[in-house]
Structure 1
């Protein structure tokens, strides 16, 4: 028998419990620490609940940073083209200050208007992307200076994209399953899940693979690894020793590849929601680590625009493995939100690499990271390439394969 306090029935208790999971398991806000909540204006209710839980955890100040996609649309339609993608200096300065202030950073995802920019000139949409802001923020994350988390914020617009109707309750149930919020003890459920992912990462590291190959319909891709690449998962630890789980949900084991050593073709197995548009049937061809050809039935110019963000944007920065036991995959949904969809299946990312997944990368300059093989870019876009029809093999230095995944299951 359920009661009024059942978090899947009582909306207020569910929201409080969710915010508690975000603050204490995800970001792990510390006593005496400041926190920043980055979100869309449509996420306000959840952001407020997160703020209350952050204060309960001991935060000294919680600051919201709201965005509104309609402002971006107005800028594209009516503003001067030369200003597109330029973030106000005060926001750049405030973000740069995080390097020394080291607040807990909580980012809410779940686009309330995922196709808001879909009918606009894709080149202008790509130019409107705030790459300058990410260029300030990404190094703070990559250098493990702040404890941070990205979590979802169910809303009517996102629900409409997923279900064809604004069924927020159905979306909340799916989010509860994917984030283990529906477990009797969500914190303990996350501890067990974290331990399982760490075992997978340890198995991959023990083999010391030189490369990973993906093979399936439209995909024949070999991603080279550095000798210093290390497989990671779930929990991160900041330079100050704060453990946190950056993604809720998270189902991946991942590493940073050698930016120079990816070759072949790859086909996306999920649609990709990015820059106010949905990219469908994305196909990339890579040589010498660089993307040299982009095709898609919808949204190819958006991807091309991202790949032109800087000199390194067209190289890979991440490779991640996810199998069919994923709690996200078990929902049977396409969420049109990268936070969720990337945790339903294997994925790769073009753009910035992950120095925290490379031995000896801490403290290196941009030139030193690039020389080592770690990509440095103002962009980082994940897209999904796995599934039951995609085999994953680890290759040794002689090219001999060892099966890692078959039929959407880890077999290593």
Structure 2
């Protein structure tokens, strides 16, 4: 089969931030988004190889960073729409690079860091187990079993309680929990993320009440630290952060849906990523070491017939529509989560960061 490679180099983006005129950040080379859309429309498999370069944009203007992000999302929207409907099979994987390994393992000799990073990636993806294929399949089976349990329950609301967090998350009727692997519109099973430890669904965009504190920094070009959000009627009404609070508020203003939730994901605190004790400064990995929620776009397959709905129908059913999708981590060993049924019965889902039910 023919394989096309599309490169992205954040160092070139840095040069642009440093030297390009301010009014150029709403310009975009459409051949990139058109190429991605062409692949998606044909149902081609897409493998995204991701590496982090922490602190690369730390001295850049947060407003320009958000403008650049928003411009990218606008042009890639048709592609992302198809991706979030599973029109093709797609997978995100992490790769070790020098700049990332230097950040994660500063105490190691420089010539050992990149190899150590690869070892860590292989560990958390179960590659180094005796039979990695069977280990991965068993892991996917366990995630599916927990998803099936919660799909059978069809809780009306989730209650999350932890230090700094007291949050009620309403769930829409017909919500679907997913985890590990899923199936594209052509019937091909695939795992969207390696590693993966989460089971997730979509919240009702208008039924979020309370406050939540992030338990890990959020790397979005720059790193947002020690932040918390307060919700009323589904929308963020207050946002505070110890570091780059202005960046956080700009991200909430990308569009109407960017200040509402599109995902709630459950991850046990004892996951391999969490046990490593490493902050990876990369959402692909960090989100799989912690319960998390996402601001912005919801995943259409998490709602019954969601892939077939128009935006208006999806929103009427409780799904959130947005250009953006930003995951941030809220889990810890002190997180308790309960499911609340239609009649108000409260049942434990997680206690002290661990599953409170057997499958």
TM-score of the two chains, using structure 1 as the length reference: 0.82
Partner of 1:194: 140
Say whether residues 1:370 and 2:315 are aligned partners.
yes
- For residue 277 of structure 2, the aligned residue among 319, 328, 332 is 332
Check whether the contact 2:33–2:76 (CA below 8 A) recurs between aligned residues: no
- For residue 40 of structure 2, the aligned residue among 84, 94, 99 is 99
**Cα deviations by residue, 1:268-299 (Å, 9 ceiling, x for unpaired):** 00111112x11111211111111121111112
Consecutive unaligned residues of structure 2, counting only runs of 5 or more, are none
- For residue 91 of structure 2, the aligned residue among 128, 149, 154 is 149
- For residue 63 of structure 2, the aligned residue among 79, 101, 123 is 123
- Structure 2 SS opposite 1:223: strand
RMSD: 1.4
Alignment of 1:28-43 (within 5 A): none
Consecutive unaligned residues of structure 1, counting only runs of 5 or more, are 1-59
- Structure 2 SS opposite 1:306: helix
Provide the aligned length of Structure 1 versus Structure 2: 351
Q: 4+ residue stretches of structure 1 with deviation over 4 A? A: none
Say whether residues 1:288 and 2:238 are aligned partners.
no
In the alignment, the residues of structure 1 paired with residue 3 and residue 159 of structure 2 have an alpha-carbon distance, to the nearest angstrom, of 44
Q: CA deviation at 1:345?
A: 1.0
Say whether residues 1:315 and 2:260 are aligned partners.
yes
Say whether residues 1:214 and 2:154 are aligned partners.
no
**Cα deviations by residue, 1:81-119 (Å, 9 ceiling, x for unpaired):** 2331543121222222133222111111221x2211111
Partner of 1:278: 223
Check whether the contact 1:86–1:132 (CA below 8 A) recurs between aligned residues: no
Partner of 2:302: 357
Structure 1 residues 202 and 324, CA gap change in structure 2 (3 angstroms): same
Partner of 2:346: 401
Structure 1 residues 187 and 133, CA gap change in structure 2 (3 angstroms): farther
Partner of 1:51: none
In the alignment, the residues of structure 2 paired with residue 223 and residue 85 of structure 1 have an alpha-carbon distance, to the nearest angstrom, of 35
**Cα deviations by residue, 1:128-149 (Å, 9 ceiling, x for unpaired):** 2122244233211111111000
In the alignment, the residues of structure 2 paired with residue 85 and residue 255 of structure 1 have an alpha-carbon distance, to the nearest angstrom, of 33
In the alignment, the residues of structure 2 paired with residue 326 and residue 133 of structure 1 have an alpha-carbon distance, to the nearest angstrom, of 36
In the alignment, the residues of structure 1 paired with residue 287 and residue 40 of structure 2 have an alpha-carbon distance, to the nearest angstrom, of 28
Structure 1 residues 339 and 204, CA gap change in structure 2 (3 angstroms): same
- For residue 162 of structure 1, the aligned residue among 104, 110, 123 is 104
- For residue 12 of structure 2, the aligned residue among 57, 60, 71 is 71
- Structure 2 SS opposite 1:66: coil
